[in-house]
Chains A and B, each alone.
Chain A
Amino acid sequence: MESMSRGATCMPEVAAVAPSAAKIAVQVKVNGKTYARESEPRMLLVEFLREACDLTGTHVGCDTSYCGACTVLMNGLAVKSCTMLAVQADGADITTVEGLEKDGQLGPIQKAFAEAYGLQCGYCTPGLMLAANQLLGTNPEPSEEEIRHAIAGNTCRCTGYMNILKAIQLAGRNMRGA
């Protein structure tokens, strides 16, 4: 998948101009676990997570900062990990979709997406769940309007958004124990 997305978005001459730069040490905490790795300065955070940390739950969708499939939390805030360099995350606390589970069980947002059929192919789902995570962290009972504002940076190409809205409302209800 990774090589497909690269082939789709990069121009052919790219390989020829790729510079060889010294690697830089990067230490990040991902889902509570510390990863100390070396990264080329140009490596994107999403590639670092997938390739250097072997956490492939974070997806590369468009690779143009549009679709939000690569959304992770950095220090609690949703960011597009395809629009940050890995070296910029040095010292940061990252949460990926793998970090949403609790004790080997699906976490409340994951459960709600499953129960409310908030996905079809599932490609956009990790990003949507992390965008929802930032929203519900500050606003446990969001209106539909507020949810739409919070997930406007996440594109779903198959389901449409109605069940996603329902899933996030359900997750909010479950998280506040209503």
Chain B
Amino acid sequence: MLGQLGEGAKPLAGGQSLIPLLKLRFASPEHLVDLNFIAETSFIREENGSLRFGAMTRHAEIEVSPLASKIPLLRDCSAGIADVQIRNRGTIGGSLAEADPSGDWANALLALNTEVHCVGPNGRRTIVLKDFIKDAYSTALAHDELVSEVEVKIPSKGSGGAYLAFKRSAPVYPSASVAVQLTMTGDVCQDAAISLGCVGLTAIRALEAESELRGKMLTESAIANAAEAARAAGDPQSDMRGSVEYKRQLVGALVRRAMGIAVRRAHGEHVEGGHLYA
């Protein structure tokens, strides 16, 4: 149908970003194709060591899903996106396809092994998340192509992660967000993934911060070095959410805090993560 209608048509998922954009006349598609009436697009399944989320799975469904809680970072993210009303409508597939630089899912999922399954008139294809999101509001999707599923590998035992986002109030996008996934053997960090949101045109992997941790004991100085490297990795803009320097400070603080939670979770503790309010 999107193919028939041409480039003036836009798919409508949860609508919690698109409808506000339509109201502001920032988007004015000729046609909207509502995906909400298509059956079998909202589900959470475990298959071959991965969790698979149907594109139209709502944030609120992920928030309360026992399956999704196998990856605590996903619960952190889903439980704090905007507010209850928006989580009841907004979808994981829509969030990725929107590719807002401040969107929560694109950043949370970048710290995990995530693949985006897409479907269109030419068939299906699977794209790793870092190649799926091209730029701010721009993805690898063709205009007649849709996200069908989001597949996330379940991290190994001994791996712990956390997603933390700082917001000025519930309904707004975060000022900065971080996702951390650490694989630990005792006090030694075997592997690390750190991604940063809202501080660039897309979510960014803080590769230098990760290498500060990989293969090392997580001493106070290793953590400080990683936080400093993450602080430097972001490329924030000054805006109503804060100055460049403020956002860098925020990233450093969030990374430190998220690492603390990730380590405790890697050791099997139950710790709260998620969104923090001003």
Contact = CB atoms under 8 A, between A and B. Distances in A.
B34 interface: yes
A153 B170 contact: yes
Given A65-B171, A83-B89, A88-B34, A153 B84 contact: yes
Contacts of B84: 78, 131, 134-135, 149-153
Contacts of B19: 44, 65, 83-85
Interface string B61-100: 0000000000000000000001111101100000000000
A155 to B, nearest CB: 8
A152 B171 CA distance: 8
Contacts of B172: 66
Interface stretch (B20-28, B101-109, B179-187, B199-207): B20-28
B15 interface: yes
B83 A84 contact: no
A84 B23 CA distance: 11
Contacts of A84: 15, 19, 89
B32 interface: yes
Judged by DSSP, the binding face of B is: mixed
Contact of A65 (B36, B86, B88): B86
A47 to B, nearest CB: 11
B60 interface: yes
A64 B82 CA distance: 13
Nearest to A42: B22
B85 A68 contact: yes
A153 B85 contact: yes
B156 to A, nearest CB: 31
Contacts of B82: 153
A79 B89 contact: yes
24 contacts: A11-B25, A14-B25, A17-B25, A42-B22, A63-B23, A65-B171, A68-B83, A68-B85, A68-B171, A77-B88, A78-B88, A79-B89, A80-B89, A83-B15, A83-B20, A83-B85, A84-B19, A85-B15, A85-B19, A88-B12, A131-B85, A151-B84, A153-B82, A153-B84
Given A64-B23, A79-B88, 6 more contacts: A42-B22, A68-B83, A83-B85, A153-B84, A153-B85, A153-B170
